[in-house]
Amino acid sequence: MGAGASHSPCSVMQQRNGAAGLTPLRRQSGVDFGGGCPFSSASKRNPALDRQLPGHWLFEEFPGEWKDYDADASQRIDASFVQGAAEATVVIKGRLHTIVFQTMTDSAGAGTVKSVRRNVATTDDGASPLKGVLSPVKLAGADGSATFAATTASSVSGDPFAVVESGLDTITRSLDTAADDPEALRPLLHSIIKAHTAPVFGTAFNLAGDKIMTGSKDGTCKFWELETAFVVREFEEHPGAVLACAINKTKVNVVATGCDDNNARIFSTGESPAKHLLEGHQHKVYNVAFTADGKHLLSTSMDGCLRQWDAVTGQCINESNSHASSIFSLQSGPRSPWLAITASDDALLAAHDLRLSKTVTHRYIGHEKTLWGCDIRFDEDQYLSCGMDSRVIAWDPRNPSGPYNTITSHRNPVHCVEYMPDGITFLSSARDRTFRQTIATSGREVFSCQAHESNVYKITYNPATGLAMTCGSDALVKLWRLPCLVE
């Protein structure tokens, strides 16, 4: 297929800019989607968020049954919270408990994880007593970050799938309004890059969205300037197919690749050759991902192992035999540098605590065939998985044996899933040549768009630019402007 041709149902016209391999396109008529649309919503003040007020801490002993920590433990936990720490550690009856404020959980070893909450006693208008509760219910901030929703003791559900009602309502209204005009919610094909001579397996945006990275079966990996399609650097050290690539979000000049020669590599975009050749896997390296703090690189392979590397020295810090068969997908925690999930040929999704020598903490059961993709929501309170059974499953991280929702909108195996910054919808791509946007909790589809001539291996979104990027077996990389669902 030529650079100017497209099999997308979107209404577009071509406009070349002279840059080799790049064909930007724009809609002839219809909705002007603008540039990106981060989700935002205002919330009432929650007293439990006020670090100036003394708080008392509770844990969920059984579903819906909350018990107080003893006074000393509660004071220690609250002191850490008030100081702005990420977590607190206390010893209770000889056991070490780690309370993580971001997820509002208490981990006491042996895989035991309980929900926690913070109560503060305040008054409403100086009269009626009111309990303010800090619970795991989240909403998306204007910058895509997580902030706690305002709740009271009577309204806490403890459900990590609770979303800000106004945000979901806004998206629902957008869909209802566009019901008579399907074109209004179709993505706009922004540009096509003739990136490689063989199928493209890996893509990545840098944080600013002005650079991208692509890796292909043709053995090349390229670092592109997005606006001009100029190749800033081509990494030629790969003897076989490049199966994955990643850009360090804290050190933008540091990137990594996974290759079918059983090795991962760390590069500097301004230097040659590779800074570190990461040897140790016994089979093809299908995934690489930097941790949230940028200090470590994670890699997974068809050997069933997850390896953790020092991103500066290239030293292997830990190796975990995570699955009984090939690992085809890996995601690191967007906030917690110790969190990761993996998806495998054994049809299991696994959660990892990288601080442990044996990293697997939970295994999620629900798929019937090989898993190919997974993702973690920005607040780390939801997971997604997808695979050969053509399903996308949304998970409550605290319930490994019970899928929260199963979505079956794709007709063929699903290669990739990724949460949108709104925390409500996700993108998916599949063998049916399409990518789609869907509401995670209900499975309602926002749009479906044919993206490539055959398999769509990956879909990824950049909030800074409002662009989504797809790659496929047709050796093309395409950029899309997505519809704006919330103001």
Give the pLDDT of residue 124. Answer: 41
- How sure is the predictor about 370, in pLDDT bands with cuts at 50, 70 and 90? very high
Chain mean pLDDT for the chain:
79
- The stretch 236-244 carries a mean pLDDT of 92
pLDDT surpasses 70 at 48:
no
Summarised one tens digit per residue, pLDDT across range 296-351 is 999 999 999 999 999 999 999 999 999 999 999 999 999 999 999 999 999 999 99
Identify which of 7, 6, 44 has the alpha carbon closest to the alpha carbon of residue 25: 6
- % of the chain residues with pLDDT over 70: 75
Lowest mean pLDDT among 59-73, 92-106, 135-149: 135-149
Question: In this predicted model, what pLDDT tens digit does every residue of 389-398 receive, in sequence order?
Answer: 999 999 999 8
Report the pLDDT value the prediction gives residue 430, as an integer from 0 to 100.
95
DSSP state at residue 77:
H
Average pLDDT over residues 91-107: 82
Which residues, in sequence order, are CB contacts of 291 under 8 Å at separation 6+?
297, 298, 332, 333, 337, 338, 340, 354
With a pLDDT cut of 90, the percent of the chain lying above it is: 48
Q: Is the pLDDT of residue 83 over 90?
A: no
The answer to whether residue 279 scores a pLDDT higher than 80 is yes
Mean pLDDT on 71-97 = 81
* Owner of token pair 């399609």: 229
- Per-residue pLDDT reduced to its tens digit, 27-46: 222 222 223 332 223 233 44
pLDDT at 110: 59
Identify the structural domains of the chain with CATH numbers, from first to last: 13-34+184-481 (2.130.10.10), 47-163 (3.30.720.50)
Give the model's confidence band at 414: pLDDT under 50 very low, under 70 low, under 90 confident, else very high: very high
pLDDT band at 109 (very low <50, low <70, confident <90, very high): low
With a CB cutoff of 8 Å and minimum separation 6, the contacts of 191 are 22, 23, 24, 25, 229, 478, 479
Reported confidence tier of residue 141, pLDDT bands at 50, 70, 90: very low
The structure's pTM equals 0.68
Q: What is the pLDDT of residues 453-481, one digit of tens each?
A: 999 999 999 998 999 999 999 999 999 99
Contact 468, 460 (CB under 8 A): yes
Cα–Cα distance between 366 and 383 in angstroms, integer? 13
pLDDT band at 49 (very low <50, low <70, confident <90, very high): low
CA distance 176 to 170: 10
Ranges assigned E (strand) in 323-455: 327-332, 339-344, 348-353, 360-365, 371-376, 383-387, 392-395, 405-407, 414-419, 425-430, 434-439, 445-450
- pLDDT (0 to 100) of residue 229: 83
Between these two residues, 127 and 245, which has the higher pLDDT value?
245
pLDDT value of residue 224: 92
pLDDT of residue 30: 25
3-state secondary structure at position 369: coil
pLDDT mean over 231-236: 89
DSSP string, 134-198: E-S-EEE-TTS-EEEPP-BGGG----TT---HHHHHHHHHHHHHGGG-GGGGSPEEEEEE---SS
CA–CA separation, 440 vs 419, rounded Å? 9
What is the per-residue pLDDT for 52? 58
Higher pLDDT, 217 or 24: 217
For residue 176, the model assigns a pLDDT of 72
